[in-house]
Amino acid sequence: MIKVIDLFAGVGGIRLGFEQAFNDVHCVFTSEIDKFAVQTYQANFGDEVVHGDITKIATKDIPSHDILLAGFPCQPFSQAGLKKGFNDTRGTLFFDIERILLEKRNTLSSVTCTRFWRSSKS
């Protein structure tokens, strides 16, 4: 069994891709703050618990997992946004991914954003 956590889950597209691509994927933790995305996520995956703001969740409260899935907000790094990078609060959510990866150590990650995030001037 491959255990995943789904951060900034939106409606669950990244998770769905992993479930379709790999056998025996089990999501052990989900975090999303948008109430409408949560409603759609739960419609897509059943009434699973969807935790809220990842910045307020202690790493010790996140279950052990094999892969961290994250579709964190791209606007701070994209052409469509103001390109404030890490100076935009949404851009700092990347550091919550880092916090979890560093503490859990045995985790792989699949982080999705835009092709422009590497070239951000932040």
Please give the model's pTM, rounded to 2 decimal places. 0.79
Paired residues of 30 in beta bridges: 6
Average pLDDT over residues 97-112: 75
CB atoms within 10 A of CB 94: 19
Secondary structure (3-state) at 85: helix
Active site residue 113: no
User: Which residue from 120, 62, 50, 65 is spatially nearest to 92, judged by alpha carbons?
Assistant: 120
Taking the domains of the chain in order of start, what are their residue ranges?
A: 2-119
pLDDT on residue 34: 93
- Indicate the helix (H) or strand (E) that contains 2: strand 2-7
Active-site residue among 7, 14, 62, 74?
Answer: 74
Give me the CATH topology for the region 2-119: Rossmann fold (3.40.50)
Sign of the CA dihedral 67, 63, 71, 47?
Answer: positive
- pLDDT, one tens digit per residue, over 50-102 is 999 999 999 999 999 999 998 877 776 677 777 766 666 666 677 788 889 88
